[in-house]
């Protein structure tokens, strides 16, 4: 019971219940700490409610529709295949509800106190927690900030009416007839390709020389090939200039390789990155938490900020804005608070693009390894030479493994093709444990499976592939 405005005591205050915050709260509670987690919206954060999960649900539905209408090469045809987009959205919502309910159940099961509301720091170890009904004050021993990020809004393209962020695009009630996507990074490609599969006429504007500029060129080319098959118009080296909209459509003016153009569509989706949520009324200056360039909070190798009692994780610190990175940092921060010697090691952070075909990569690229002065061994094996891939009627893609030629230790991998998002985990484990090419090549992989492609790529790097002819022999 609070007398007057006295502060309640808590071991750990966690701000934000996304994949970083809720994981940190649970881990801290497991380690014997009293924990309060606060979020102003839904448990699970952006990822579960407005990002990773709902987008992948729509992507899966689009894949299912495409498979039903394009399986004639296998001798399978279907008539009167249609999409009830309302039902699709209803199903997507049920997936989100199950997961967010699961997060709430996990927090409660670990005896984490939960508060729907906002937080404002009062000083270096106190904060006001408030909503419309109450505003208790807490004195914390430690705090973990996990406030995440939000879509970047461009001044000429404010999010309103026919101009959407990814959040609004995921909530559309009907399949758009047409859509302009500003930004050909992973979010723009995933959502643009998804709507194109549902029948939307999609135009993508990307400022770089190619779509997916963070991916290797030979991977982005395969995605571009599929976009072309879906009749998606892609403009590279394109700069969106202005927009005009009415209640039915929006016209985007842009330059592509120096030439001015216009395109009119039912909606315009802006996907040019995300901004860290550190610029609100959190009161970071009162807590003596230093915010650096681009709104990112500076941390040490355990997630500790300029205030040694306050930690920061996820999208508000340097590095890729990935849910699994936030979860990992959350566990490290919680363990550091409990006195464990855990430190952040970014050697193995996989990245996945849920495009068609899927892209996944981890560790060094071939170029990065060579630039680091490493004597590099590279093995590349195509999906088209894999029995399981052919039996699935998929042939585009490859697995590429990068290793130290002198030691055989695996340094990185790039995968493009079906199930790349799942296949990358073997390479993540290999790099984490310091495995060699021989370790992977000599591991018995079930046949016929896509996983064999990883084994074959390792054999190529070793110079003795079984299912690939080596030139010169």
Sequential pLDDT tens for the chain (473 residues): 344 577 899 999 999 999 999 999 999 999 999 999 999 999 999 999 999 999 999 999 999 999 999 888 899 988 889 999 999 999 999 999 999 999 999 999 999 999 999 999 999 999 999 999 999 999 999 999 999 999 999 999 999 999 999 999 999 999 999 999 999 999 999 999 999 999 999 999 999 999 999 999 999 999 999 999 999 999 999 999 999 999 999 999 999 988 999 999 999 999 999 999 999 899 999 999 999 989 999 999 999 999 999 999 999 999 999 999 999 999 999 999 999 999 999 999 999 999 999 999 999 999 999 999 999 999 999 999 999 999 999 999 999 999 999 999 999 999 999 999 999 999 999 999 999 999 999 999 999 999 999 999 999 999 999 999 877 55
**Residue located via tokens 């999409």:** 83
Using alpha carbons, select from 155, 209, 160, 200 the residue that is nearest to residue 181: 200
Q: Please enumerate, by residue number, every residue annotated as part of a binding site for FAD.
A: 56, 147-149, 315
Q: How many CA atoms lie within 13 A of 51 on its CB side?
A: 20
> Helix, strand or coil for residue 62?
helix
Q: What does the block give as tokens for 262? A: 């216009």
Return d(Cα 299, Cα 322) in angstroms, integer: 17
Q: What is the DSSP letter of 303?
A: S
Is 168 within 8 Å of 197 (Cβ atoms)? no
Give the active site residues: 447
**Beta strand residue intervals within 295-397, DSSP E:** 310-312, 351-353, 359-363, 376-382
Q: Work out the number of other CB atoms within 10 angstroms of the CB of residue 103.
A: 20
Q: Give residues with Cβ within 8 angstroms of 72, minimum separation 6.
A: none
Tokens of 247: 């209640």
Task: Please state the residue numbers annotated as binding site.
Answer: 56, 147-149, 183-190, 206, 273, 315
The pTM of this model reads 0.94
Query: How many angstroms separate the CA atoms of 202 and 192, rounded?
Result: 6
Are the C-beta atoms of residues 121 and 287 closer than 8 Å to each other?
Answer: yes
Domains of the chain (ranges; CATH) run: 8-150+275-337 (3.50.50.60), 163-272 (3.50.50.60), 357-462 (3.30.390.30)
Return binding residues for NAD(+).
183-190, 206, 273
Helix, strand or coil for residue 423?
helix
């Amino acid at each position: 019971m609070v007398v007057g405005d006295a502060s309640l005591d808590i071991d750990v205050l966690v701000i934000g219940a996304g994949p970083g915050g809720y994981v940190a709260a649970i881990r801290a509670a497991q380690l014997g700490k009293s924990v309060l987690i606060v979020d102003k919206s839904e448990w699970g954060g952006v990822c579960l409610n407005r990002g990773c999960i709902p987008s992948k649900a729509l992507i899966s539905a689009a894949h299912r529709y495409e498979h039903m209408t394009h399986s004639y090469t296998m001798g399978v045809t279907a008539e009167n295949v249609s999409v009830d987009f309302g039902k699709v959205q209803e199903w997507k919502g049920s997936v989100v509800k199950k997961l967010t309910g699961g997060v709430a159940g996990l927090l409660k099961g670990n005896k984490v106190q939960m508060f729907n509301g906002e937080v404002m720091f009062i000083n270096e170890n106190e904060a006001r927690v408030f909503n419309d009904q109450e505003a208790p004050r807490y004195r914390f021993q430690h705090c973990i900030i996990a406030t995440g990020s939000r879509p970047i809004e461009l001044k000429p393209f404010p999010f309103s009416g026919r101009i959407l962020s990814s959040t609004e695009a995921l909530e559309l009630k009907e399949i758009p007839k047409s859509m302009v996507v500003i930004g050909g990074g992973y979010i723009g490609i995933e959502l643009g390709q998804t709507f194109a599969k549902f029948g939307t006429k999609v135009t993508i504007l990307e400022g770089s020389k190619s779509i997916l500029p963070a991916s290797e060129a030979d991977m982005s080319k395969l995605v571009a090939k599929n976009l072309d098959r879906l009749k998606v118009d892609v403009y590279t080296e394109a700069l969106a200039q202005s927009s005009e909209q009415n209640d039915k459509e929006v016209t985007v003016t842009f330059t592509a390789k120096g030439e001015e153009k216009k395109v009119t569509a039912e909606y315009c989706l802006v996907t040019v990155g995300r901004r860290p949520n550190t610029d609100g009324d959190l009161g970071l200056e009162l807590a003596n938490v230093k915010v650096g360039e681009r709104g990112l909070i500076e941390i040490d190798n355990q997630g500790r900020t300029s205030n040694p009692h306050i930690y920061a994780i996820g999208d508000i610190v340097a590095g890729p804005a990935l849910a699994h990175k936030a979860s990992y940092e959350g566990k490290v921060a919680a363990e550091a608070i409990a006195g464990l010697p855990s430190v952040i090691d970014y050697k193995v952070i996989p990245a996945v693009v849920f495009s068609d075909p899927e892209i996944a990569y981890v560790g060094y690229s071939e170029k990065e390894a060579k630039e680091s002065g490493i004597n590099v061994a590279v093995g590349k094996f195509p999906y088209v030479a894999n029995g399981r891939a052919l039996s699935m009627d998929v042939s585009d893609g490859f697995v590429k493994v990068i290793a130290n030629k002198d030691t055989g230790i695996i340094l990185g991998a790039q995968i493009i093709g079906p199930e790349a998002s799942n296949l990358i985990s073997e390479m993540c484990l290999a790099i984490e444990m310091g495995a060699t090419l021989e370790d992977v090549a000599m591991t018995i992989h079930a046949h016929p499976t896509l996983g064999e492609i990883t084994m074959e790529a390792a054999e190529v790097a070793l110079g003795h592939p079984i299912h690939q002819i080596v030139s010169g022999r």
